[in-house]
Every structure is written in C-alpha cells, then in structure tokens.
C-alpha cells in the first residue's frame, strides 16, 4: 500500500520531469509512479518506484507538421480506455489515500468513482487538436475532461495567475540543480560557447535537429553544437556530439549558452528558470506547443530563420527568473495526506 500513486502522462518527458521536481519535496511519503515509454525510464533513473504500463499512440509528424490529428484522437480514445483498466488494477492493488495525476485523466475517473481524493496537475483545460467537422468529437472529449477536472479535490496549474474554484496556480514547476554552472560546464565538457539542441522524449523533433544543423553551418558562429536526440531517435552520419538520452536535461540547459528546442512547456520553463536564452519551435498543428511558443514570441515559421536567430541569441545576456512551483505544489499535496 502507498500513501499516493502518481499517474504521469508518458506523452513527452515534461510531465515526468515536473513530477520528479515535486516528488523530491515529498521525502517521507510512500509513493508509486505509473507511466510509460521514456517517461518511465526517466523516473526510474531518479530511483522512484515506477511501473512502465502505459503505451500512448505516437504523433505522426512530417516536416515539422502534425498529420491526421483526428486519427490520432481515435487512437488516443482507445489508449484512454486501456489506461482506465490499468489504473483500476493499480489502485485496487495499492489502495492509496491519494491519486495524483499529471494529465492522465483515466486514473482520475477510476479514483473518483471509488471516492479517493484526487489531485490533477495540468496546464491544459481543454483540447484543441482537431479542426472542422472532427472538432465536434474533440469538443465532446473536452466536455468530459472539464467534468473530471471539476470533480478533482485540487487542480495544480504550473503557471502564474489568479486561483479560481479548485484551481490553484503555483507558477512554473521546474527541476533545480545542486552544482554551479561552472561545475556543470565541466561535467558536460562544454569548453566553449555551447548551443544545445533538444527534442524531448520522442523522435518527432528530428526535423528540428536537421534544420538547426543546417542553420548552424551557415551561421559560421564560433560555438559548439551539442545534440540531445533523446531515447527514441538514432542519428547517423553526424559529426556533432550527441548526448542521446539525458536524464538531467535541466543541468545541460543551465550549462549551455543557447538552447534550441521544441516548444514543450517544461523545457521552456527550465530555460527561463536558469536564464538560458532559447529558441523554441513548435510542431505545426500541435495547439499546446503553438500556444507555448506564441507566449514567448515564436512560431513554427521561425524554423526558416534559425540562422538569424542563432546569431542574435548566442550572445544574449542571461536573465534567470527563479521559480518555486515545485515546492508550492508539494505543500498543497501534503495537505491531502
């Protein structure tokens, strides 16, 4: 039996990274994670008790653009139903006092039916992948999602802003470091100005690596290009250093001079937290990434001017904006235990 079970969405690595940041403040709480894919690998690297049970449908990306969003939604619905069965089995076995979900709505449905207290961590309050006639199906999904959200005992939103109802905004949730920037630069062998290219936990960002390499060559900038291709993408015939899967990406972000990345919220927040200048290119048609990028002045079309952006940003002054969302979120969760 556990005090709480953490159900972490395995779609990307941002959910797992922010859940780890919160859990580091819950030292004396017995807990288990349920996730899948690279997210499970990341949580296991941190020494957490994690079951690798979820297998989400991958996005189909071509040239940086999301393909067939309606087909993905249908596959997601099937995945969601499988997750309800999986989470029911886990909750039945562990009998937790609290279920914490990071955008895994299936576990919330199961827990709420069993009158178990639920906490949701999310920065999405509705889904907007589909367009046209297919958006009717998505609106029905969003309506169901809103009902689940309203039934939660607490909804933690990792953004700044006003609280309302059961929704509490704690500010960005990020992982912090225990070493200085100089120590981390030595650790990662960043011996000169360093441009870090990160695409998260899947292979969907291959287009960004290819475009960044092309722009870097043209720019002639005196810097080292370091790739973080993640656990799912194998790169062939590249002369640039590839760190592959990095469990402490936040350390590399802090150590780097410039970050080029997809527009995942957690990566953006960690870049802002450490003051590392960043260029963030969203997947076209991925509403969440497009909104994240828009808030800081980027769009998919910026991929066609990467050379200019690299030259502008490589010497930009660092401007850290420390966030305390992880501690605040953990204190809120403790109140339910």
Q: Residue 158's pLDDT is what? A: 97
| Residue 71 pLDDT | 83
Band (pLDDT 50/70/90 cuts) for residue 194 is: very high
End-to-end CA distance of the chain: 14
The pLDDT assigned to 135 comes to: 60
* 223-246: pLDDT as tens digits: 999 999 876 666 666 789 999 889
Stretch(es) of the chain classified as CATH 3.40.50.2000: 4-175+325-334, 181-313
Q: Read off the pTM.
A: 0.92
Q: Are strands 117-121 and 98-102 parallel, antiparallel or unpaired?
A: parallel
How far, in whole angstroms, is CA 169 from its chain's centroid? Answer: 17
pLDDT of residue 66: 83
Other C-beta atoms closer than 10 Å to the C-beta of 183 total 12
Is the distance from CB of 96 to CB of 78 less than 8 angstroms? no
Topology adopted by domain 4-175+325-334: Rossmann fold (3.40.50)
Count helices and strands (H / E) in the chain.
12, 14
d(CA 332, CA 72): 34
For residue 134, pLDDT over 80 is answered with no
Extract long-range pairs of 247-250: CB within 8 Å, 24+ residues apart.
Answer: 247/41, 247/42, 247/45, 247/46, 248/175, 249/13, 249/17, 249/198, 250/17, 250/174, 250/175, 250/176, 250/177, 250/274
CATH for the 181-313 domain, from 3.40.50.800, 3.40.50.2000, 3.40.50.10420, 3.40.50.970: 3.40.50.2000
> H or E stretch including 45?
helix 37-45
State pLDDT tens for residues 121-132.
999 876 655 555
- Average pLDDT over the chain, rounded to an integer: 92
pLDDT at residue number 61: 85
Q: Per-residue pLDDT for 290 more than 70? A: yes
């Amino acid at each position: 039996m556990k005090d709480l079970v953490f159900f972490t969405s395995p779609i990307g690595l941002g959910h797992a990274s922010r859940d780890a940041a919160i859990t580091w403040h819950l030292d004396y709480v017995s807990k288990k994670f349920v996730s899948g894919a690279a997210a499970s690998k990341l949580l296991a690297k941190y020494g957490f008790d994690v079951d690798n049970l979820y297998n989400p449908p991958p996005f189909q990306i071509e040239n940086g653009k999301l393909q067939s969003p309606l087909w993905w939604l249908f596959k997601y619905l099937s995945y969601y139903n499988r997750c309800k069965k999986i989470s029911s089995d886990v909750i039945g076995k562990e009998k937790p006092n609290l279920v914490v979900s990071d955008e895994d709505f299936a576990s919330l449905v199961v827990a709420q039916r069993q009158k178990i207290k639920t906490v949701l961590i999310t920065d999405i309050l509705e889904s907007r992948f589909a367009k046209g006639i297919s958006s009717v199906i998505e609106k029905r999904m969003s309506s169901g999602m809103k009902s689940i959200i309203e039934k939660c005992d607490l909804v933690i939103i990792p953004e700044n802003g006003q609280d309302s109802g059961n929704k509490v905004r704690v500010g960005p949730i990020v992982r912090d470091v225990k070493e200085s920037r100089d120590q981390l630069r030595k650790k990662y062998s960043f011996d000169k100005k360093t441009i870090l290219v990160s695409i998260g936990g899947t292979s969907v960002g291959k287009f960004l690596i290819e475009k960044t390499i092309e722009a870097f060559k043209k720019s002639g900038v005196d810097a080292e290009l370091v790739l973080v291709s993640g656990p799912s993408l194998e790169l062939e015939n590249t002369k640039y250093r590839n760190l592959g899967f990095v469990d402490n990406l936040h350390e590399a972000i802090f150590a780097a001079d410039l970050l080029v990345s997809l527009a995942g919220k957690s990566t953006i927040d960690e870049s802002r937290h450490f003051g590392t200048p960043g260029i963030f290119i969203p997947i076209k048609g991925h509403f969440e990434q497009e909104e994240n990028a828009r808030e800081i002045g980027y769009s998919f079309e910026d991929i066609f001017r990467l050379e200019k952006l690299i030259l502008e940003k490589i010497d930009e002054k660092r401007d850290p904006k420390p966030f305390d969302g992880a501690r605040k979120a953990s204190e809120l969760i403790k109140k339910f235990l």
